[in-house]
Amino acid sequence: MNKEELEKEISILKERVEANKTMSEGYVNDLAKLQKQLEDVNKPEITPMMIDEIHNTIFCVLNDWNWNNVDNYQDYEFEIDYDGRIVCSNISFDPYELQDKLVNNVCNLFKEADCPTDEEKE
């Protein structure tokens, strides 16, 4: 093969590689969409009224939470401000109790379904 023929073959192969890359990206996108649809199909359905109940429950828990209770904070440091004021800084919050209360209140909106155990499947 001479130089022109080799260059022509190279350009043809480059075009094929680009076309396959474009097709492959299309397949990857289609696969991601189908996987998302499958994930959505497997989700249990919830009514708009239940969504409102969940929102309301979370709002009530957060609204009733005592944010001023210092026992909810793990660590905090006191500093002297430029104005000579003592300020609290580097506050780290312990979300466990709040999370527990939120989960319990949201779970109380539902009744737990019976699920078969591994022994029952056999």
Q: What are phi and psi of 78, to 5 degrees?
A: -100, 140
Q: How confident is the model at residue 120 (pLDDT cuts 50, 70, 90)?
A: low
Of the two residues 14 and 119, the one the predictor is more confident about is 14
**Rounded to two decimals, what is the model's pTM?**
0.50
5-63 per-position pLDDT tens digit: 888 888 888 888 888 888 888 888 888 888 888 887 777 788 888 889 999 998 998 88
> Domain spans of the chain?
1-43, 45-111
Average pLDDT of every residue of the chain: 83
